[in-house]
Structure 1
Amino acid sequence: MNLRDLAYLIALADHRSFRLAAEVCNVSQPTLSTQIRRLEEELGVALFERAPRNLILTPAGEAAVRRARRIHDELRQMRDEASGHGAEGLTQLHLGVFPTLGPYLLPHILPGLTARFPKLALKLTEEKSAELLAQLIDGRLDAVILGQRVEDAHVTGTPLFREPFRLAVPAAHPLAGQPRVAASDLAGQKLMLLEEGHCLRDQALDLCRQSGAEEYDGFRGTSLETLRHMVMAGMGLTLMPALACLHPLGQPQIAAPAFAEPDLGRDIGLYWRKSTTHGALMQDIAGLMRAQIRDLLAPAAPPAGKA
């Protein structure tokens, strides 16, 4: 077994196709297939179930891929650490962020990050929270920004900021003219929510249970922008994070009053593996993000009414 074999294993697990994995690894398909078969013989277990139309990782295969990713991550970190002492001194950082935060957060923090860390080569991935956490643990990501607490023995992190929620309503709705709304004002209302897998959906469902609101039947949004346009069309109400309200939501079609309850929001944090060699860098990045977003949310968030 060698690092090349592990690279073949990871590629095949990612693409579930011998042809595609061979292309990614720049080898012939028979070569990759032979090496995977030899790896299975060496380990004494089948790593893949060869179904008629696709490949399925066996439990042993899933465990082997997780360990292979960690080994490759350690090797990459070794290379990054060594390159930091070279002429260019670039540090590679692969950062993940979830979809209901990324488009509204990254434009505000990336200019400051690149100015503060000019030798930071940043690569970004946008995925749902569960997938981000899985990629972090597997070594495919170096750090993730999440809106939920992470309890994993291999992961550590630090809080960044608390993002309040706002209520996006059509301008003609009775709640549109309120300076603030209370959770109890939502009793009997129907909220349009995101599809399964979004942490914001789970948080909105919690609000529905607390307030007596219900989910809008027959519709689940794929993104915040979809929900925004549904509100603009007068189809209903939705929950909107404060950063998504910093710019006009579609005036004069939408109002976005704040909630009276200060606890209605989500806690955003930066998380990374405990084994990383970039722990100090992560803390520095987190400190810069906190300062930027604190200044952004405090004075700039719309006070009430139309956003």
Structure 2
Amino acid sequence: MIVFIFASNFTILMTITQLQYVLAVAEHKNFTLAAEKCFVTQPTLSMQIQKIEEELAIQIFDRTKKPIQLTEIGQKIVNQAKNIVNEADRIHDIVEQQKGFIGGEFRLGIIPTVMPTLLPMFLNNFIKKYPKVKLIIEELNTNEIISKLKNGHLDAAIAVTPLEDEKIKEIVLYFEPFVAYVPENHSSFKKQEITIDDLDINEILLLQDGHCFRDGILNLCKNKGQNENNHFQIESGSFETLIKLADEGLGTTLLPYLHTLDLNEKNKTKLRHFASPKPAREVSLIFPKNELKIHIIDALRNSISGVVRGAIAFQNVEIISPIQKK
């Protein structure tokens, strides 16, 4: 595809491929690496970018800096090039949607605290029902997901919402309650249900920074100050580690409801549900507002809703924001 840019007395011709080369260098800040990602030789990529610069009579990249940097005008060109390339990619999507075809490549991001429990529940059924869809799935944190959605590197994602981002559309899939994991030596172990007032942020074992579930817990306990005189502070990247630490008497932890379904019977005796309204997280399909692969998004939503509806029966919930409050 060729892009025509008209000025008062001349016309500039450039291809979508050339713009993709520009975007690759802007992303990787290295001509050699950008060429590898575009599956061309470095001289070919450099020549095509130089051709654009000569036609425009400007420098898109400052090659004297390491790593390579965009010039001021180069940044504006890259912003526009993203729009052009994204819109060109959507021409094919429009045709497929018109034909009712559900297939092709679809890049999906999923946050780490959702992926291990949700993915096995729907993936097998989805690929059997939609064999022409090639799902490319990445496990990413929320910030990485938002960045990749906006840069066109993901078509959609499954994340905790609301995210309060005007460029991102959210379709709620389900509400997943928080569940406390309380060791036998803890004062709340004898309770049938607990409330937020039973939580002590100073003894709750948390996931590492960057996990939205951690931010949800901090928001849940926002009125309870942390004690800076604690003898230790433990943060982990997995719920399994937090459960083992709690069993050692080092504190309590909170888990997403779906994660509790796979616990052994002994550990399930240590689970304590919250009184209604139960604090919960809102899990949604999110995608750019200009996304056109809605037919695949709808197929994903229907597949996920079908399996989750039978697993989560809680209705009276209070949604806890994933956005960390200052």
TM-score by length of 1: 0.81
Q: Do the aligned partners of 1:83 and 1:89 also contact (CA within 8 Å) in 2? A: yes
Correspondent of 1:101 among 108, 114, 118: 114
1:83 shift after superposition? 6.5
Note closer, same or farther for the CA distance 1:120–1:219 as it changes in structure 2 (3 Å cut): same
Distance 1:160 1:277, change over 3 A: same
SS at match of 1:140: coil
Q: 1:17 to 1:59 in 2, by over 3 A?
A: same
Gaps of 5+ in 2: 1-13, 315-326
Whether the aligned pair in 2 keeps the contact of 1:208 and 1:214 (CA below 8 Å) is no
Distance 1:219 1:58, change over 3 A: farther
Residues 40 and 232 of structure 1, relative CA distance in 2, 3 Å threshold: farther
Matching of residues 241-252 of structure 1 within 5 Å: 241-248=256-263, 251-252=266-267
| 2:58 pairs with one of 7, 20, 44 | 44
Counterpart CA distance in 2 for 1:296 and 1:38 is 57
Q: 1:188 deviation in Å?
A: 6.5
2:196 to 183, 206, 212: 183
User: Are the aligned partners of 2:260 and 2:268 in contact in 1 as well (CA < 8 Å)?
Assistant: no
* Range that drifts further, 209-218 or 10-19: 209-218
Change (3 A) 1:84 1:206: closer
Q: For residues 97 and 249 of structure 1, do their structure 2 counterparts lie closer, same or farther at Cα, with a shift above 3 Å needed? A: farther
SS in 2 for 1:190: coil
Distance across 2 between alignment mates of 1:10 and 1:250: 52
Cα shift at 1:253: 9.5
- Kindly state the Cα deviation for residue 272 of structure 1 after the two structures are TM-superposed: 2.1
Pick from 201, 205, 215: which aligns with 1:192? 205
| CA RMSD, 1 decimal | 3.2
Task: Give secondary structure in 2 for the equivalent of 1:209.
Answer: coil
SS in 1 for 2:120: helix
Which stretch has the larger CA shift, 278-287 or 190-199? 278-287
Mean CA deviation greater in 131-140 or 223-232: 223-232
Could you tell me how far 1:133 is from its partner in structure 2?
1.6
The answer to whether residue 22 in structure 2 is matched with residue 9 in structure 1 is yes
Match of 1:117 among 130, 152, 156: 130
**1:249-280: CA deviation from partner (whole Å, max 9, x where unpaired):** 69449822111242411111112223232224
Q: Which residue of 1 aligns with 2:214?
A: 201
Gaps in structure 1 of 5+ consecutive residues: 300-307
Give the conservation status (yes or no) of the 8 Å contact 1:192–1:237.
yes
Would the aligned equivalents of 2:184 and 2:270 in 1 still touch at CA under 8 Å?
Answer: yes
Q: Deviation string for 1:173-202 (max 9, x for gaps)? A: 332343221111114642222233221121
Amino acid at match of 1:194: L
Residue aligning to 2:34: 21
Q: CA deviation at 1:219?
A: 2.8
Q: Which amino acid aligns with 2:160?
A: G
Paired amino acid for 2:290: S
User: 2: CA distance between counterparts of 1:66 and 1:143?
Assistant: 21
* Alignment partners' CA distance in 1, 2:196 and 2:59: 55
Is the contact between residue 8 and residue 32 of structure 1 (CA under 8 Å) also seen in structure 2?
Answer: yes
Distance in 2, Cα, partners of 1:287 & 1:89? 13
TM-score (norm 2): 0.77
Task: Give the share of equivalent positions with the same residue, in percent.
Answer: 31
Which structure carries more helix by proportion? 1
2:42 matched to 1:35? Answer: no
8 Å Cα contact 2:60-2:77 kept in structure 1: no
Number of aligned pairs? Answer: 297
SS of match in other structure, 2:106: strand
Aligned to 1:302: none
In the TM superposition, 1:1-307 aligns within 5 A as: 1-40=14-53, 42=56, 44-47=58-61, 51-52=65-66, 54-56=67-69, 64-79=77-92, 90-187=103-200, 189-211=202-224, 218-248=233-263, 251-252=266-267, 255-298=270-313
Structure 1 position 224, deviation (Å)? 3.2
**1-structure distance, mates of 2:69, 2:260:** 43
Change (3 A) 1:295 1:21: same
Asked which structure has the greater CA Rg, the reply is 2
Query: Whole-Å Cα distance in 2 between the matches of residues 61 and 231 of structure 1?
Result: 53
Assess, with a 3 A threshold, how the Cα gap between structure 1 residues 205 and 27 changes in structure 2: closer, same or farther: same
- Are the equivalent residues in 2 in contact too, given 1:183–1:210 (CA < 8 A)? no
Amino acid in structure 2 at the alignment position of 1:44: I
